[in-house]
Structure 1
């Protein structure tokens, strides 16, 4: 994957053909909340088990775009890798790996590694299709979503459109959904499962940027964790081999369920990023350092915004005082070193 692959931009225009049913973001959120409420009102252990099963089936359909039969056929011991965050769909040699969001992995692990799934021998997700449909219709009635939109087919369409609208290439969408078309596959480039995983995970990165005020966000993999009773040092590596470090509380470490191999988004607010016009500068006590080419410098009498791009295409932004910027004399085209402390890094799982 080249640098441009890590900077996928949403499609400027995307039209859904007439007759294709899909959920709006608000409807999808309401339907998911309805499953949460339904689970929370279970008064007996057998009811809780059944409702957890239906909720996990819904979440898998919602976040993978898989067919209902594929999800119900999963052997969770064999087909789900919750450490790597993947699900294996298909059979008879025609299989595909689909990336799973870390939040979904945590929910799957919470249920499948609990006594609730004991004795299921990998078949906790197996259920009757008619029973699944009735549960989905009931949740739709509960939250005011039309019944005809509470189906596996609509969830599949919704996931496909989400990916396409976020700039995921059609060939990758086909790979994730397990679709094959003789007319299309003859002319479209093939993508490896690794490429598909990296590209689809961009959805989570884009969503995170929309929800946070942090201007700098980097997709990373956890390589090592050093912890004591209070704090934890998280060593990170980007897809391009850049080494970063974050220091968080042990409580946050446990909440995020971080471990080596976990994919995370490392975010830093622009005012916490220091800039040095001399790339040879060590960055002082700041352990995270990125060299980048300045793309723009915008100032008012008090604050100056410095935007830059690394050689791998990552955007970096810093806010410094205008007086400091004037002393540095930094301008577009210059190479500068951007640095930030490990304590300034905010981590979110993808």
Structure 2
């Protein structure tokens, strides 16, 4: 279906770009790059670039729009919206899960002094880091912020958002790019369907109770006892802990992203996490199931208490492990990658 630009010339939507699998690999490379930061300064700078990457990925912003984003003034949590500045100024709804990711990054203790300018980075620096992460992800095609913007465009169309609304969302119709209440409702319904579909299988989820909570100046550390008795260490900002009403004795839902679980054959429990985050979660697991794709595998491991955790790995990484069903491995999860929510949220 053709589309028209501001001059009225008809154009066909671009078909080239990332596949869903390539996007997962690219974002996984970004998350791992951030998690491997050495020292608070590097953790801060890498968190800022990740924030910018997620902003472009979910809002489809031009790089210049993302670089001008003020995280104090332009994030509108009520209604999960953001404000875009510049020539194509507009207000956009965001998927609630995406808004939550941005808020959690803003709340990170290492970014406390960067508030208001988290996304205000050098354009060349950002482009260079995008290319580096793409190489780490094994992508064959060049990767730039515009690639993420085109992916978002195609994703919105695939999820049933009408083309004229996609054009307005992306700010392609000059100052007539406003989104009215009907548009907002349509986009929010689309986001709810999209999140519901993606939620299945993305996280390892189990229930537990907070045994211990230690509150610092900016972040809180938790020890959670799963229903089987397995202990899990978690860490989040004090703001997040207050928002979810987390405290000792609270019943919580524990979520761990499959992409955040590292797998190896060695190691022992009790290792320290980066930046004084506290004990790294290190569990022994027995591999019980394996699902193999073209470039990635999803392996499921059973812990001593009976919980099952799944990890998504590249095929190359999995083949280096040389493990099969029934073999024991060590599963490592940083406390920052353990998400807690009160009750059944």
Q: TM-score, normalised by structure 1?
A: 0.51
Aligned positions of 1:79-118 closer than 5 A: 79-91=74-86, 94-118=88-112
Query: Deviation at 1:207?
Result: 3.0
Please state if 1:78 is matched with 2:73. yes
Residue deviations 1:189-232, cap 9 Å, x none?
x874333332223333333554578xxxxxxxxxxxxxxxxxxx
Runs of at least 5 residues in structure 2 that lack an aligned partner in the other structure: 2-10, 201-249, 256-342
1:178 equivalent among 138, 159, 171? 171
In 2, Cα distance between equivalents of 1:80 and 1:154: 24
1:143/1:201 CA distance change after superposition, 3 Å: same
Q: Shift of the alpha carbon at 1:47?
A: 0.7
State whether structure 2 residue 54 is matched by structure 1 residue 65.
no
What are the residue-to-residue correspondences of 1:153-164 with 2, within 5 Å? 153-164=146-157
Q: In the alignment, is residue 203 of structure 1 matched against residue 175 of structure 2?
A: no
CA contact (8 A) 1:141 1:147 kept: no
Q: In the alignment, what sits opposite 2:252? A: 251
1:28 aligns with 2:15: no
In our comparison, the structure showing a higher alpha carbon Rg is 1
Q: 1:79, CA displacement in angstroms?
A: 0.7
- Equivalent residue in structure 1 for 2:47, among 45, 52, 58: 52
2-structure distance, mates of 1:209, 1:88: 25
- Counterpart CA distance in 1 for 2:184 and 2:160 is 14
CA contact (8 A) 2:74 2:83 kept: yes
C-alpha RMSD of the superposition = 3.2
Match in the other structure for 2:126? 132
Task: Give aligned pairs, total.
Answer: 201
Residue aligning to 1:40: 35
For the residue of structure 2 that corresponds to 1:91, the secondary structure is: coil
| Structure 1: gaps spanning 5 or more residues | 1-10, 214-248, 256-345
Paired with 1:108 and 1:191, the residues of 2 have a C-alpha distance of 23
Partner-residue secondary structure (3-state), 1:155: helix
Paired residues of 1:53 and 1:124 also in contact (CA < 8 A): yes
